[in-house]
Structure 1
Amino acid sequence: MKFRQNALKKLNALDELDAPARLAKPSSWIALAAVAFVVIGGGIWATVGSLPRMVTAAGILTHQQGSFTLQSPVAGQITGVFVDQGSTFPQGTPMLTVQVGNRTEIIRSVTGGRVTAMLGKVGQVIAAGSDLAVIERIEDQSDGLVAVLYVPTGEAGLIRKDTPVDLAVQSAPAQEFGVLRGTVVSISQFAESRQQISDFLGDDQLGDRFTAQGQPLKIVVRLMEGETASGYRWSTQSGPPYRIDSRTLVTGAVQLSPIKPIEWVVL
């Protein structure tokens, strides 16, 4: 009843009817102006500004034609190994000899290349189809390295030819030497299976590694040449003071075209 009596007294106070009403305190107007400034500024930034985008993917340094595993066409005992790991050779070079009964079979390379892993040893008894060596296909000794990235199919659709790529090289810490520069030269049309990757790289473990999250698309990156010890361009002036070899794992950051924040809302 007390609150009702007070309300009735205010209604009877006719002298206060002409008093101006205060809609908001000055501090409220300041807060409202600040909010309006933020909204307008955010709208301008969303329309005019841009945000960088990138796709990261695991990969490896290799030559354009990849590698293959040399297998023995015969069963017998290895009696000679003529090439060492790291050596290069032309097509038709004798690689090993295998004693098969009373005759000696010479196993030759079907292409020129470089031995990245010699698996056969003198005295070893092998069966037909045994792995003898992993060979990188190199038809021209001047062929440079490329980086092959395996990108998840859901992200590869954003990548275009000539897109710049930064490559963190496992054997050259990025904190010290920076990243290797490159550009996209090709994008596979179809996803790569584990077996396709294993056949191209000559390594089943790499096939497992690059398909751990599903079948990816293959992105080939051309490395930019530079006047450095490695022969390639880096984000730092000199890069590492040594040669970067093939079969080195890398992580690629593909630099996509920037996107305007408002496109997130529209899309």
Structure 2
Amino acid sequence: MRFRFKALQRMREPDELDTPTLLAAPRGWVALFVVMITMTGALLWVFTGRLPISVDAPGLLTMPGGTGLVQSPYAGVVQEVLAKPADTVTQGQPLARVEDASGRARVVSSPFTGQVVGFPVDKGQVVHPGTTVASVERTDANAGTGGGNDRDAMVAMVFVPAPRAAGLRPGQSVDLSVSTAPAGTFGLLRGRIESVSPYSLTSEAVSGLVGGDLAAHTYAGSSPPRLVVVRLLRTADTPTGFVWTSASGPPGRLSTQVSVTATINLGHQTPFNLLLGR
């Protein structure tokens, strides 16, 4: 039987019982310390970290009175249209003339002052009682804020699904992404909650605020919403006259009847509470 020289040499050497045993290389200890520090930091963050809580919801810029529907109380054929979109009308001003079945001319007048934003009927169209003749953005609700067509009285009406509206209170800050002013270029419009409706709105109520059933579907969604009125923060340092997250916001003035996406800031919570669903 032949043995290798090294094997025979090892057999002649006594056991080195006094030699210390290396359990882990220095590189392994460094990795262990890194893992322990990372886990400790993560644990501290879970209990002391702060995560922002916010609610996102659709809305639009409008005047405090919203958009009202002017409906015909008569059945007949439209003989004359007396206004068009963008016209300013006053309470009692005729908007259309309707000839009824007896040949009598009937006048459909605006029940409030405002600006016409939609006129869905035209000459020769048959209408029935309850047919919408015009959509008018009301300005008669601005008596204490400048009145008339003062754009400074503009507010944002935000429609928040009822299940997500429980924590909303007047005074909470709101950031608004305006569809006509890209947030990546001009920033977000700033505001604060002025009021929160105590009850959910019906589809008819939403239609009455935004000017029709078609627009109401955009804001109502699948869950009955609650109306949150956001007062825009004012400043003289931007072209719009309102506060933006950017230095100056967009050039020129803002228009009403513009859709927005609101982010309502509710505060902060720790990741631990978030995991527990608190």
Whether these two folds match at TM > 0.5 is: yes
Equivalent positions of 1:82-97 (< 5 A) are 82-97=82-97
TM norm structure 1: 0.83
Relative to structure 1, the CA distance from residue 261 to residue 89 in structure 2 (aligned partners, 3 Å threshold; closer, same or farther) is same
Relative to structure 1, the CA distance from residue 240 to residue 25 in structure 2 (aligned partners, 3 Å threshold; closer, same or farther) is closer
State the distance in 2 between where 1:204 and 1:29 align: 68
State the distance in 2 between where 1:45 and 1:127 align: 64
Shift of 1:134: 0.7
State the distance in 1 between where 2:251 and 2:25 align: 68
Q: What does residue 245 of structure 1 align with? A: 255
Deviations 1:151-190 (A, max 9, x none): 2333322333211111111112222222211111122222
Shift of 1:73: 1.0
State the distance in 2 between where 1:41 and 1:130 align: 65
Whether 1:134 and 2:135 are equivalent positions in the alignment is yes
State the distance in 1 between where 2:197 and 2:235 align: 27
State the distance in 1 between where 2:185 and 2:27 align: 53
State the distance in 2 between where 1:116 and 1:265 align: 47
Relative to structure 1, the CA distance from residue 128 to residue 159 in structure 2 (aligned partners, 3 Å threshold; closer, same or farther) is closer
2:221 to 191, 212, 226: 212
1:229 to 232, 239, 242: 239
Deviations 1:84-134 (A, max 9, x none): 211222222222222333432222211222211122333433233222101
Relative to structure 1, the CA distance from residue 264 to residue 212 in structure 2 (aligned partners, 3 Å threshold; closer, same or farther) is closer
Relative to structure 1, the CA distance from residue 126 to residue 264 in structure 2 (aligned partners, 3 Å threshold; closer, same or farther) is closer
State the distance in 1 between where 2:249 and 2:19 align: 78
Shift of 1:24: 4.0
Equivalent positions of 1:1-267 (< 5 A) are 22-100=22-100, 101-139=102-140, 140-141=147-148, 142=150, 144-227=153-236, 228-265=238-275, 267=278
Shift of 1:21: 5.3
Relative to structure 1, the CA distance from residue 16 to residue 176 in structure 2 (aligned partners, 3 Å threshold; closer, same or farther) is closer
Find the residue that maps to 2:46 and give its secondary structure.
helix
Shift of 1:214: 2.1
Amino acid at match of 1:182: G
TM norm structure 2: 0.80
Shift of 1:257: 0.9
* RMSD over equivalenced CA pairs, Å: 2.6
Shift of 1:249: 0.8
Amino acid at match of 2:224: Q
State the distance in 2 between where 1:80 and 1:226 align: 44
Q: Which ranges of structure 2 fall in alignment gaps of 5 or more residues?
A: 1-13, 141-146
Find the residue that maps to 1:73 and give its secondary structure.
coil
